[in-house]
Structure formats: C-alpha cells, structure tokens
Amino acid sequence: MSQASNRSAELICTTNPGLEDLAFEELQQRLDEGGLKGTASERLPARIKGRLRIRYPGPLSSLVQAAGTLRSVHHLLRPVEQFLLPTETPLSTVGERLLEAPLPEMGPSTPFRVSSERRGEHPFGSQDIEREAGTALVERFGAPVDLTGYAVEVRVDVVESLCAVTVQLTRKALSYRHDRTYRPRVSLKPNVAYACLRLARLGPGTERLLDPFCGSGTILMEAADLLPGTELWGSDWSQRAVAGARANLEGAGLEGAGLKDRFRLQAGDARTLAELYPPASCDALVTNPPYGARLGRDIAFPRFYRDFLEQATAVLRPGGRLVVLVRKRGAFNVAAQRTPGLRIRHVQIIETSRVFPGIFVLQRSG
C-alpha cells in the first residue's frame, strides 16, 4: 500500500455494487476492533455504485490502516475531485482538471501512472482518458510515467457523464488473497465469498460448514481464514474441481492452521447431499451453484433448485442458515418458498461482472 496523505480524512472503498452497506458495517467493526470506536460513523453519498465513501475525524492513516483489513472490498481510494464532463469537450476537460486537481502525492520525480474505468456510452475509450490525464500530469509535474514501477496511481474513472479523480492507495486488490493454482473462470471473488459467509452469521460456535458446489474452493478458503475452529466440508460433482480446490487449499498456506484435519472434500452431486452427509450434520451451507451462463446452460433450474434445496434442508441442522448466490433469482425464489422447512430471511442483489445475482439467506425452521 502506498503512503496516504494525512491532510484529508476521506476515503473511498470500492466493492461490488450491492455490497456497500455490508462493507460499511464491516469497516465499523474493524474500527471498533482497532480501538477507534464509532469514529467512521459518517458515510457520505457516493455517486458511483460500488463505492463506499467515508469521512473520518482522525488522521487518514488510521482509517487506511483499519480499512486495509477489510475483506468485503477491492481497493482503497483517496478522493480528489468529481466533475461532470461536457458533451462537446469531454477529454480536454479531463486534461484541464488534472492541471489543477489537488495531488500532494505528486512531485517532479514521482513515477506515476493513470488508470481508468469507464461505464456508459462515450465516443472515447478508457485509454483515451488515461492518455489525456497522463499528458496533463507530465506537463504539470514533469514526473515520469511508469506503468509498473509507479509510486502514485491516479484513477480517472468515468461513469456516464461523471468523472471521478482519485488516488488509489492499494496496489493489489484487497480481495486478492490467495495465489491459486486452479482458477476456473466461474470462480467467485473472495470478497463476495466473504459477504456470503458474513450473511450466514457464523461464529466460534459453527462446528461445520458445507459448500456443496465448491468449485475452486473460494468459499472454503475464505472460511478457513475466518473460522479457525470450524470443520470445512466441500463437494462438487466435478472431480477436477475437487482436485483443484484441494490444491488451492493446500497451496494457500492454510495448512499451518490445522486445515488438513478440518477439511473434507469429495466428489458428489448437490442433488443427492443426503447420501453424502449425515442428516442435520451441518451448521450452515454457503454456496454458489452454476449461474446458467458459462456453466449449466442446459440445466432445468426450477427442478434443479428444488432438488438441491430439499437435500440441503436434510443435511442442515434445525435453525441453521443456508446462503446461496444465484443468478436465476425468480426460479430460486419459487423453489425456496416451496421447500418445506425453509424460510427466506433476506435477499441481497449484487453486481458481479455485469450480472446481477442475488444472495439468498434461508433458514431451516427450528
């Protein structure tokens, strides 16, 4: 993480749209744990989805330190300024604003880079924004552009007509946690896995957690960090996924935490869970079945969800939670409502890579 300025005490955390509230809740918790109770209570309106903007009464460095431990977010940004782009001269306006924007991090010998994310219809691309902003900063500071060895990363993000200039304080995304040898395209981002686990309200009393569509094991890896005393069970009908999840868990350096003794991975169909696991043996199930896009295009989802939920109910202990991230929200909702012994407690719609799955939190009746 690069040095944060102490002059400003505002911070932006980026996350998936839909997870901003959860990220704020987590931040408050981290501040409490760091002895900074109640200090980040002011949440400012963020005009861009997936951004949590906080004002902090103490030094920014303390806030950055606490926020650096967040599991639900991707990056930490220091807000610089926001402005609207005129339709006629959008790019030259970016350049002009960067000639004036308050950037105390920059100096004549500070290697820097500009990055940009763009959303909406524009007659220019994100590379044009980067070029325009980079040229302005070279002109202003005489600083060298260095795409890999940079000390400062200036972000110039454009969402529709809004342009947000920030300094990115995290080099690697906080959501990038473990190097993985097996990473299928459908694997979940660890911060979304964290959000699902958080919604399951697990704690030291959670003896056993099951992910019956474990894929590369993201949810189990996240749980291994969070719940040191919990047994972690995972299954997937693909032998390749089971072997990959095992390699990932072993390679993640989690074995030192006694993981070998507490994880159990096996191949199996989530529609026959009752044959794989004893009745009422799991305190919680947290999982991410195929979306039906890249994976599972030929699945008849109403039936698939019904079969899975019936089996999940059988292996879940009374009162236990079942958290499922699904893309076919309508079909899942119907199946959940029709499954005896399950109640829907909460549904949270999020955005991941331009799709809008829902996190369903269900509970087995006591």
Ligand X SMILES: C[S@@+](CC[C@H](N)C(=O)[O-])C[C@H]1O[C@@H](n2cnc3c(N)ncnc32)[C@H](O)[C@@H]1O
Q: What is the DSSP letter of 198?
A: H
Tokens 């070029």 belong to residue? 131
Going by C-alpha positions, the residue among 365, 303, 298, 293 that lies closest to residue 326 is 293
Distance CA(226)–CA(239), nearest Å, equals 26
Q: Which whole-number Å values give the CA distances from 145 to 108, 188, 252, 256, in the listed order? A: 11, 33, 34, 41
Residue among 167, 249, 270, 286 that touches ligand X (CB under 6 A)? 270
Residue 166 contacts ligand X per CB under 6 A: no
Q: Where does this chain touch ligand X (CB under 6 A) — which range of 15-23, 59-67, 78-86, 290-298? A: 290-298
Tell me which H or E stretch contains 330.
helix 329-338
Stretch that binds ligand X, among 2-10, 197-205, 224-232, 266-274 (CB under 6 A): 266-274
Token pair for 345 = 């407690």
- Residue 90 in the binding site for ligand X (CB under 6 A): no
Site string for ligand X, 210-239 (x = CB under 6 A): ---x-xx-xx----------------xxx-
288 part of the interface to ligand X, by CB under 6 A: yes
- Where are the extended beta strands (E) located within 140-186? 152-159, 162-168
Contact between 241 and ligand X per CB under 6 A: yes
Number of residues that bind ligand X (CB under 6 A): 21
Residue 248 found at the interface with ligand X (CB under 6 A) = no
* Residue 335: both structure tokens together: 């199946």
Q: What minimum distance in Å lies between the beta carbon of 256 and ligand X?
A: 22
Rounded Cα gap, residues 88 and 104, in angstroms: 30
The set of residues, in sequence order, having a beta carbon less than 8 Å from that of 189 and lying 6+ positions away, is: 16, 175, 218, 352
3-state secondary structure of 320: strand
- 175 binds ligand X per the rule CB under 6 A: no
Output 180 or 321, the one with its CB closest to ligand X: 180
Q: Which of these segments, 83-91, 148-156, 182-190, 258-266, binds ligand X (CB under 6 A)?
A: 182-190
3-state secondary structure 60-98: HHHHHHHHCCCCCCCCEEEEEEEEECCCCCHHHHHHHHH
Instruction: Return the range that interacts with ligand X (CB under 6 A); candidates 136-144, 151-159, 283-291, 337-345.
Output: 283-291
* 358 lines the binding site for ligand X (CB under 6 A): no
By CB under 6 A, which span of 94-102, 133-141, 171-179, 284-292 interacts with ligand X?
Answer: 284-292
Interface pick for ligand X out of 9, 63, 76, 188 (rule CB under 6 A): 188
Question: Which one among 159, 173, 186, 314 touches ligand X, defined by CB under 6 A?
Answer: 186
- Which residue has the CB atom at the shortest distance from ligand X? 215
What tokens were used for 37? Answer: 């109770």
Nearer to ligand X, 73 or 273 (CB): 273
**Residues of the shown chain interacting with ligand X in the complex, contacts defined by CB under 6 A:** 184, 186-188, 213, 215-216, 218-219, 236-238, 241, 269-271, 288-290, 295-296
